[in-house]
A and B are shown apart, each in its own frame.
Chain A
């Protein structure tokens, strides 16, 4: 601690350079934390899902519907305890700039199958009772300034026209990974508006035990193999993971960009540190002459690098953690549960440490190894 004033005084020599160096470290770590959190959030979303829920989609692809008539046959299959269904509804509100997910679901069976979607009992009753009602996530309610009981009109992009719903419930997810940015309305209303086409996007099956998942999935697909719409059945986790794969190899891209940014900043920081140390060769000579040992000078230069990277780490990593939490960021619904995790912060800390070593070691060794007599030539 006795050397800290000396170190701080040295850092204050070129305040703007020190500030910019610390900010560049902060920016690198902020970007690293952000990009890694995108990757971990996508991964967490892909892993979410109950082992007791299977999802049945059209074998041709998720954009192709299934007949609603399958529900009755699915209920009769051994091991299937409950059946629900949902349909993606591309909708937009207002100017359409703010994206959110909209689903039509079978209300009673869907809410029973998803206890993660928590709804006050009276609001649940209202949703089950009223055909044109909808429930929305708390975040969505706040974003648009809606309130309970309000009629909102959504423009359908896949199923055209204006669709007016009365908000009868506001749900809060029990798990951060679940999107709280959705509007969910009733499938029977949806079916009525589309002239009773009798289609659903996918079925969700509640099964008796996860051990039977593979067997039941095969049973379902065999059942509809020769129908007009063959099915593809898998666990809910696999279904969510398939959405994650829609991001492509984004994880690799994010990691690569993150590391490239950190490396670029490392070079800038190391250059600034070395420049700063080189400018002070004369002062190193003075300190050596009055008795500062090689080891002590090495430590002083490393301490300078440490203070800069620590300041950058606190600013970058702490800033990322607080900013995303304070703004409740979720990537417009694409990244529910977006939060800079402890392991990401720890990894960021390790990178800061490496940054300190990489940027500090060269000038520190140079300062320590400088022979006193040679160094004094810079002085006199």
Chain B
């Protein structure tokens, strides 16, 4: 695949949530979530509908015009998840989704991920050092220095 084809494939099939969230600070929650949809052929009203649904799923309907700096860490994480799911990807990749959150926010995010998996049938891959987060997974793979050393039993199912 060419670089362009790979980019298009990523846009269509994968939703990313970065460890540092990487929301664009100059864009509102709405505009950040809308970013992946700019790559589709959806019209503005269609994009708006999808963005509102995604922000509704993560429980941020009332924060759509807030900038990242105006949101808490947990809220920022949820905006990043909304951005990852808005284009309805097959697979969602999350890097340390609970790493910088307090216990309450972590619980909220993990509950949200369970819902995305259960209700919306999304495949979710999490890279984490958080044992509690790992416990929620159906399958756990251990990596040490880049080598897969153990395939653990599914614990969350």
- Write the residues of chain A forming the contact surface with B, with a CB cutoff of 8 angstroms: 2-3, 5-6, 9-10, 12-13, 282-283, 286-296, 379-380
Question: Which residue of the partner chain, among B8, B26, B35, B95, contacts A287 with CB atoms under 8 Å?
Answer: B35
Output the nearest chain B residue to A289 by Cβ-Cβ distance. B16
Known: A2-B44, A380-B95. A290 touches B36 (CB 8 A): yes
Q: Which residues of A contact B15 (CB under 8 A)?
A: 290
A6, B31: Cβ atoms under 8 Å? yes
A286 contacts across to B, CB distance below 8 A:
18, 22, 24
Q: A379 to B20, Cβ gap below 8 A?
A: yes
Say if the beta carbon of B4 comes within 8 Å of chain A: yes
Distance in angstroms from B12 CB to nearest chain A CB is 7
Would you call A293 and B20 a contact (CB within 8 A)? no
Q: Which chain A residues lie closer than 8 Å to B31 at the CB level?
A: 5-6, 9
Give A286's nearest chain B residue, CB to CB. B22
Knowing A12-B26, A289-B16, A290-B36 are in contact, say whether A295-B10 is a contact too (CB < 8 A): no
Tell me which residues across on chain A come within 8 A of B12, comparing CB atoms.
291
Report whether A9 and B4 are in contact in the complex, using a CB–CB cutoff of 8 Å: no
Decide if B7 touches A292 in the complex (CB within 8 Å). Answer: yes
Asked whether B57 is an interface residue with its Cβ less than 8 Å from the other chain, the reply is no
Q: Is the CB of B22 within 8 A of A282?
A: yes
Report A-chain residues with C-beta under 8 Å of the C-beta of B27.
Answer: 6, 9
**Contact B4–A380 (Cβ < 8 Å):** no
Most buried by B among A5, A12, A290: A290
Residues in A neighbouring B44, C-beta threshold 8 A: 2
CB distance A292 to B39 under 8 Å? yes
Q: Whole-angstrom distance between the alpha carbons of A4 and B17 in the complex? A: 25
Within 8 A of A (CB), among B1-46: 3-4, 7-8, 10-12, 15-16, 18-20, 22, 24-27, 31, 35-36, 38-39, 44
Cα distance, A5 to B35, chains bound together (Å): 11
Asked whether any CB of chain A lies closer than 8 Å to the CB of B50, the reply is no
Which residues of B lie under 8 Å from residue A379 when comparing CB positions?
A: 18, 20, 22
Contact B20 A290 (CB under 8 A): no
B83 near A: Cβ within 8 Å? Answer: yes
Instruction: Give chain A residues whose Cβ lies under 8 Å from the Cβ of B18.
Output: 286, 289, 379-380
Nearest chain A CB to B98's CB is how many angstroms away?
16
Report the bound CA distance from A2 to B16 in whole Å.
22
Q: State how many angstroms separate the Cβ of A96 from the closest Cβ of chain B.
A: 57
Nearest CB in chain B: distance from A36 CB, A: 38
A362 vs chain B, min Cβ distance (A)? 20
Looking at the assembled complex, report how far the CB atom of B69 sits from the nearest CB atom of chain A, in whole angstroms. 13
B-chain residues with CB within 8 Å of residue A287 when the two chains form the complex = 35
| CB within 8 Å of A: which B66-121 residues | 83, 95
CA distance A292 to B83 in the complex (A): 14
Q: How far is it, in angstroms, between the C-alpha of A229 and the C-alpha of B48 when the chains are bound?
A: 88
Q: What are the nearest 7 A-B pairs in CB distance?
A: A291-B11, A293-B7, A9-B26, A286-B22, A291-B10, A293-B4, A13-B26
Instruction: Tell me the minimal C-beta distance from A282 to chain B in angstroms.
Output: 7
Nearest residue (CB) in B for A288 is: B7
Closest A residue to B18 by CB, please name it. A379
Bound-complex Cα distance A131 to B43 (A): 80
- Evaluate whether A10 and B26 lie within 8 angstroms (CB atoms) in the complex, with A5-B31, A290-B16, A294-B3 already known: yes
B24 CB contacts on chain A under 8 angstroms: 9, 283, 286
- Interchain CB contact under 8 A, B20 and A380: yes
Q: Are A2 and B26 in contact (CB under 8 A)?
A: no
Complex formed: what's the CA distance from A290 to B7 in Å? Answer: 8
| A291-B39 in contact given A379-B18, A379-B20, A380-B20 (Cβ < 8 Å) | yes
In the bound complex, how far is the Cα of B83 from the Cα of A206, in angstroms? 82
* Cα distance, A315 to B151, chains bound together (Å): 65
Q: A289-B16, A290-B10, A291-B39 are in contact. List 11 more A-B contacts (CB 8 A).
A: A2-B38, A2-B44, A6-B35, A9-B26, A13-B26, A283-B22, A283-B24, A286-B24, A290-B16, A293-B3, A294-B3
> What is the minimal beta-carbon distance from A253 to any residue of chain B, in angstroms?
44
Which partner residue on chain B sits nearest A12 by CB separation? B26
A288–B39 CA distance with the chains assembled, in angstroms: 11
Q: CA of A380 to CA of B22 in the docked complex: distance in angstroms?
A: 9
Partner of B38, one of A6, A13, A282, A288: A6
Nearest-neighbour CB distance to chain B for A9, whole angstroms, equals 4
- Let me know if A293 and B26 touch, CB within 8 A: no
Known contacts A287-B35, A289-B16, A379-B20; A294 and B26 CB within 8 A of each other = no
A289–B24 Cα gap in the complex (Å)? Answer: 13
What is the CA–CA distance of A10 and B27 in the complex, to the nearest angstrom?
8
Q: Select which of B4, B26, B35 is within 8 A of A290 by beta carbon.
A: B35
Cα(A380)–Cα(B36), bound, Å: 20
25 contacts between A and B (CB under 8 A): A2-B38, A2-B44, A3-B38, A5-B31, A6-B27, A6-B38, A9-B27, A286-B18, A286-B22, A287-B35, A288-B7, A289-B16, A289-B18, A290-B11, A290-B15, A290-B16, A290-B83, A291-B10, A291-B36, A291-B39, A292-B11, A292-B39, A293-B7, A379-B18, A380-B18
